[in-house]
Amino acid sequence: MPFAGSNFYHPGPITEADRQSVNAWIRTPGRFEAVVDFDRVMADPARPDHLRADYDCGDHLHPSPAGYNPMANAIPLIFFEK
């Protein structure tokens, strides 16, 4: 998930490029049976390297209580069926 603006993991162009590269690899079809893309759910559309302000707990890394709801809703319930 986005973490620009945080004091963790040294956010900047290099770590953002790494994050984008890893996410692209994860999103590549055929690597996993399914993927829940929390990055796309939680990113600020205007600044995709940042969490949406209303989903940010304030440290720019962890979700706020309001952020957990869209994360939960992004998980298809079919994942839990046999």
Q: Measure the CA–CA gap between 50 and 27, rounded to whole angstroms.
A: 19
- Residue pLDDT, tens place only, 14-58: 999 999 999 999 999 999 999 999 999 999 999 999 999 999 999
> Does residue 54 form part of some domain?
yes
| Overall number of domains in the chain | 1
Q: Within a domain: residue 5? A: no
* Nearest in space to 75 (alpha carbons), one of 32, 33, 36: 36
In a domain, 46, yes or no: yes
Q: Domain span at residue 26? A: 13-80
In a domain, 6, yes or no: no
pTM equals 0.88
Task: Find the DSSP H helices in 1-82.
Answer: 13-27, 38-42, 65-73
- The answer to whether position 3 is within a domain reads no
Strands, E assignment, the chain = 43-44, 47-51
